[in-house]
Every structure is written in structure tokens, then in C-alpha cells.
Amino acid sequence: MIRLRVNGHRIAILLLALFLFGCDTETPIPLTPTFPILAASQTVAPAVPTLPPTSESINVGERNFTPGAPAVSIDNPAVTVTPTPAPTQPSFPMQFVADDGLSIAGIYYAAPARPAPTVLLLHMAGSNKGAWGLFGPQLQAAGHNVLAIDLRGSGDTGGKPDWSKAPQDISGVLVQLAALPGVDAQRISIIGADIGANLAVGACADSPACKAVVMLSPTLDNQAINPADALARYGNRPLLIVASRGDRASADASAVLDKLSKGDHRLIMQEGGEHGTALLDAHPDLAGAIVQWLAAHGA
């Protein structure tokens, strides 16, 4: 007999047992209650990005992907949106390897949306990548990836200046740059200042990926780098040349190079005597003009 202690008194549950066995039914009463089995409700489990980090950003899975994206339509959950996240850093350092193993230092500005056209910046003799100042971020804001490098023996790049090796160094950087995620390999341009301008047209002429060149204050012979020789190889690709009227050697060289150009070319002569990257500081509208020129030529 089963007994319970309630309020300090023993209560026999004989009456309960008699009641259960006295019911007029042929169906046994289950010892444990049963409930109807309901179908599982439809749920959406969050998907974890599986793409590894890439050199274009430190974000994980920054490339667009559909799994786990929020549904756009309630009626059709298969329709999703996958926004393109912005880079977590406006710029970050990068290293490129020359043919002889030298590490070439650079700073990279990733475009807000990728793949994007990309610009390589080559500084003046005796200068470094920092001389471009705000120009890199301005190109970035206009939708370009931007890479400014320190040429051999300059800035954070080791070794001694060797301008005979500079063309090969730049060609190697272009190959590695074109292979980066987020870079439109068919839309790479080079902007150079002073000797960087002379090197730019030669490097672009030898690179199928290079689409256009902008030369700031070129000369006809700088450290035995003559851009006139490269223009024949450069062919019909577009060329923009910028110089100051007061910078006579560069102004005269720019007029000669403009006449030698075979493709769509433009010469901008600025007042004053600024040279190279100093043109960008002295003429605030010049950066915008360069951006517009690149866009007009699909670069």
C-alpha cells in the first residue's frame, strides 16, 4: 500500500486505487502521460564565414558570400543580400620581393569596393613613399586601390640606390600587385614624380596589365633613365604629363614627351616652379584633375 505524508498525517490512497480499478474501461491507463508530437519549427541557424583572411583586409571572409546573409523577402527566404564590408584599416604596410631577394616596402590603401582599379605611386629621387601625403587617400576615396612603394635604397626599403635595377624592381612589384585579391588586373596605372615619372612610362610599357601613366615633372635624362625611349614601346596607351612653367628642364622635357606620345595624351602646365610631388601641394585642384583623367580613360 502506498502512503503519503501530508500535513503530518498518514493518508492511505486506497480510495484512489479502488477508483482506478473500478472504472468501466477496457483501455489501460498509461503510467506516464503522453503528448502529441509536433513538427519541428523552421529556424535559420547563423552561418559562420569560412573564408580565410586575405591580404586585402584583416577582416575574415571579407569577400562577398551568400551563406548566412539576411533574407530580403519573407515569402522567399532564399533571396538574400550580401553587403560589401569596408576595410578595417584605411592603409597598411606591405612588402614585395625583388628578383635578388630585396624586400621592397610599401603602403597600401584598399578601395572601399573591390575588385577596383589600382594605382602604383613612384616617388622622386632622394624621397620616399611618404612624400605623396594625402594623394593616396584621395585616390582611395575615388574608388582606387593605391600602392606607394619605397624604391631601392629609399625609405624603408633596404640596399643602396641603384637606378639600373629600379625598372626590374618595379616590374616585379607590378606582377605581385596584379595578383592581389581585390585588384582589377586589367586596370592598373602608374603615377610617378621626377625620376619616378621616367620609370613609370618604361615599367608600364613593359607590363600588359598597365593601362595608363601620369608623369609629374619628367625629364629627358635622369640617372640614365630616358622616358623618350620607352614611349615607342608604350604605344597608344593614354598619357598625362604635368609640369610647372618655372621648372624649365621639366617643362621643356614635358613638351617634347607630349609630342612623342602616340595615344590619347594631355599636357598640363602649372604656374610656378614646383617640382614632382610638390605640385600636388601647391595646386590643390590637381589631385581632382588626375582622378577625373583616370576615370575618363577607364583607369
Domain spans, the chain = 92-296
Grid cell listed for 230: 620607352
Smallest CA-to-CA distance from 218 within 246, 244, 236 is with 244
Helices (H), the chain: 14-22, 135-141, 166-178, 195-205, 227-234, 248-260, 278-282, 285-296
Main-chain dihedrals φ then ψ at residue 179, nearest 5 degrees = -90, -5
What distance lies between CA 114 and its chain's CA centroid?
Answer: 6
Q: Hey, what amino acid is at 20?
A: L
Q: How many CA atoms lie within 13 A of 215 on its CB side?
A: 36
Number of neighbouring beta carbons within 10 Å of residue 229: 15
Of 3.30.70.520, 3.40.50.620, 1.10.230.10, 3.40.50.1820, the CATH number of 92-296 is: 3.40.50.1820
- What DSSP state is assigned to residue 281? H
Return the CA Rg of the chain: 35
Assess contact for 128 and 97: CB atoms under 8 A: no
For the entire predicted model, the pTM comes to 0.72
Assess contact for 270 and 244: CB atoms under 8 A: yes
- pLDDT of res. 89: 74
- pLDDT of res. 257: 98
- What DSSP state is assigned to residue 37? P
Assess contact for 218 and 197: CB atoms under 8 A: yes
Whole-number Å distance between alpha carbons of 239 and 231: 10
Task: For the chain, 299 residues long, give each residue's pLDDT as a single digit of tens.
Answer: 334 343 444 433 333 343 344 444 444 444 444 434 444 434 333 333 333 334 443 333 333 333 443 444 445 544 444 444 454 578 999 999 999 999 999 999 999 999 999 999 999 999 999 999 999 999 999 999 999 999 999 999 999 999 999 999 999 999 999 999 999 999 999 999 999 999 999 999 999 889 999 999 999 999 999 999 999 999 999 999 999 999 999 999 999 999 999 999 999 999 999 999 999 999 999 999 999 999 999 99
Q: Hey, what amino acid is at 172?
A: G
Q: Phi-psi region for residue 155, left (φ > 0), alpha (ψ -120 to 50) or beta?
A: left
- What DSSP state is assigned to residue 225? B
- pLDDT of res. 22: 43
Strands (E) across the chain are located at: 3-6, 9-12, 92-97, 103-109, 116-122, 145-149, 183-193, 210-216, 239-244, 265-270
- pLDDT of res. 44: 36
